[in-house]
Amino acid sequence: MENIAGDKMFSHIGRVLNDQRPITADIFLTNYCNNKCPYCTYGRWELDAQAYSMKYEEFITYAERLLSLGVEGFILTGGGEPTINPDIMKITAWMEGKGIHYGINTNFNRLVYIKPDYLKVSLDGWDEESYEKRRGVRAYEKVRDNIARYASWKRINSPETSLGIQIVVQDHEEVYRFYDANRDLPVDYISFRPAESTAGDFYNHEYAEKDINQSIEAIKKLKQEDERVTLNFKWEMLDRQEDRCTAQWAQIAVNEHGEVMYCCHKPYQIVGHVMDEDILEKKRAAYTDMGQCDIPCRMTAPNMFVAQMEKERKDAFFI
């Protein structure tokens, strides 16, 4: 599917060369979840004193501010499960009424009938046991049913929505298990992602290269049989450790309180508030420890592109 690609910066050459305003905003609608994934950075299960959902009125205020900064698309994602925000239907209806491009990353344990550009479900399992191991709850069949119900609804009400499922592959055997169990689902794409880990530690073992190659081979083989199968572009970037986040200006991540994080993978690094007059200046000036970044990161491909554009070339007047 074209929405899973590493070359999107080609669509924004003007911003790369000129004002470098943010293109995409990641918005955390909640900081709590209805899953208990053991790997989760955010990890709040019960509604404790710090649990919070962005209110409808707050979302509009922040969204209008982000649009004024140049943002073209919103991703509902992040520090919790977006579909369990009490105002999710009002928030999405407002964006749909305004014709705003948005997508949603969800576990889809809760069925909502919305009309995003894309709806990506982190399914991650092939039966109740594997789902519970990855996501901390037994909801595999429930999610499959929600996907099927939504697909039937969207066929009439939102045919342009791209509906997909994904798994973070931990070993090559999971590729076939996941595909065989879920290929019957009426989705537009089936994405296989590599594991993201700090400094790429997940693949720091003697069998890593063999397993990576076997996973890629399996995905490519399935793709020949089923065009919905997607080899996520991050598979080609497992050894990429950037010196700096050259394209960090292209995204702006806002948490449930309207605070701007350095990026959605670093909720602990707050650089300001979205309503600050100088928030873009604060964001540009912010420093982050690249050694603590996840590899591969969704920003790796944009970073490579911008780094190439900014590279100083000797005797450039000789083509």
Express each pLDDT in 302-317 by its tens digit: 877 777 777 777 776 7
Angle at CA 142, nearest 5°, toward 137 and 144? 115
318 in any annotated domain: no
Task: Provide the CATH number for the domain around residue 65.
Answer: 3.20.20.70
1 in any annotated domain: no
137 in any annotated domain: yes
Long-range contact set of residues 108-112: C-beta below 8 Å, sequence gap at least 24: 108/83, 108/143, 108/146, 108/147, 108/150, 109/34, 109/35, 109/81, 109/83, 109/137, 109/139, 109/142, 109/143, 109/146, 110/34, 110/81, 110/83, 110/84, 110/146, 111/146, 111/149, 111/150, 112/83, 112/88
315 in any annotated domain: no
Is 0.95 topped by the overall pTM? no
264 in any annotated domain: yes
Low-confidence residues in the chain, pLDDT < 70: 1-6, 41-49, 316
Pairing of strands 24-28, 251-254: parallel
What is the tally of structural domains in the chain?
1
184 in any annotated domain: yes
2 in any annotated domain: no
Give the per-residue pLDDT at 45.
40
Give the per-residue pLDDT at 252.
96
Query: How far apart (Å, rounded) are the C-alpha atoms in residues 25 and 75?
Result: 6
